[in-house]
Amino acid sequence: MRFTIEPLKSKTRAGARRAVPAFAAVCLSLLPVFALPAAAGEAELGAISIKDAWARATPPWPVATLAFVRLENEGVGDRLLSASSDVAGQTLIHRFVATGDRPAMEVQREGIPLPAGKTLDMRAESYHLMLLNLKSTLEAGSTVPVTLTFQKAGAVEVAFDIKSLLPPGLTGGKNAVSAPTN
């Protein structure tokens, strides 16, 4: 059996030459809207790079945990408005503040500004995420999905790595010790 490929007629070829770049332009314009998942702990959303995303493992009686992330903005100024996760009843953006002798945490109801060309490094003694009313334990070595929503860039789901920072003998998961009794 023999196959031959016929050349396109001139009318069709001219139309195809215009259609291919137009299709490519539409696809490229949608990239900032649909952020593709990256390696755990990382994601891209337009000009915003999300890096080093992780949360603390929980003891076997989970109530809440802290989560941290680095946000690098190479584009126009934006604002992290909110965060959410299916594993938590509520996810809040907090800021650690020292008022005299007593440390406190303030809920950032307006979100956090992310100026153009700047990096926001969320960590325990600064801005961080609080995952409250956890529905299950978070085991070290696993990941948990967290959706970050920005004012201009939109929303992106990031796989936060779960890291153990628990005292020895107090591990989350199957081999966990039971809750202390008083």
Residue 166: pLDDT band (50, 70, 90) is low
DSSP 100: T
pLDDT at 172 over 90: no
List pLDDT tens digits, range 69-123.
Answer: 999 999 999 999 999 999 999 999 999 888 888 888 899 999 999 999 999 999 8
Report the percent of the chain where pLDDT is more than 90: 57
pLDDT (mean) for 111-137: 93
> In Å, what is the CA distance from 132 to each residue of 66, 75, 138, 159, 167?
9, 32, 12, 17, 21
* Domain topology for 43-163: Immunoglobulin-like (2.60.40)
pLDDT value at residue 101: 82
DSSP 176: P
Domain regions of the chain by residue span: 43-163
pLDDT value at residue 123: 85
CB 139 within 8 A of CB 103: no
pLDDT (mean) for 14-36: 40
Nearest of 157, 150, 153, 131 to residue 81 by alpha carbon: 150
Residue 14: pLDDT band (50, 70, 90) is low
With 0-12 / 13-18 / 19 or more C-beta atoms within 10 angstroms meaning exposed / middle / buried, residue 144 is buried
Q: How many other CB atoms are there within 10 angstroms of residue 37's CB atom? A: 13
Among positive and negative, which fits the CA dihedral 71, 103, 61, 131? negative
Tokens representing residue 110 in the block: 């307006």
DSSP 177: P
pLDDT value at residue 31: 36
pLDDT at 21 over 80: no
> In Å, what is the CA distance from 99 to each residue of 96, 104, 106, 125, 167?
10, 7, 11, 13, 28
How far, in Å, CA of 85 to CA of 162, rounded?
Answer: 14
Model pTM above 0.85: no
